[in-house]
Amino acid sequence: MRNNDIPKLHQLHVKSLNCLNNPEATIADLLSCLYDLNVEELRIFQMCMKLGRFNLDEIAEMAAKDRTTIHRILQKLVSAGLVTKEFGSIPRGGRISVFEAMPLSVIKMQIRDRMRNLEENVSRILESL
């Protein structure tokens, strides 16, 4: 196989994987790499971990960000399995979205599963060369 036969990799993912080779890599580096989170998304996730159960307005105020931005970030965190979303009732009637970060034990298990899948995929790719 010639070098020009190898598809170009997305530069962001290459950087993310390289940061895990750093002996000083942190949990933020790991989450950034495995869940494709940027600095702002990581900051919001840290807030989610501290808040316990919260609604959109509470975290938007704490983060000093508009509701639309926070909603987009929370949707990404929910899709990634890092945060859950439920619907709660409002005393005056109606419903409100209630969010909560997944327990650390669950996140650790997810990370281990993702790392196992990554290793299997890398092995498969290398075998196909």
The per-residue pLDDT for range 3-52, each reduced to its tens digit, is 555 555 544 455 557 777 888 988 998 899 889 899 999 999 999 999 98
Q: What is the mean pLDDT of residues 73-92?
A: 92
Helices 67-79 and 39-51, interaxial angle, to 10°?
80
Quick one: DSSP state of residue 3? G
Angstrom distance (rounded) from CA 22 to CA 17? 10
For the chain, which residues make up each domain, given as ranges?
A: 40-128
Structure-token match 């009732």, residue found: 89
The CATH number that domain 40-128 falls under is 1.10.10.10
Q: Say whether pTM exceeds 0.75.
A: yes
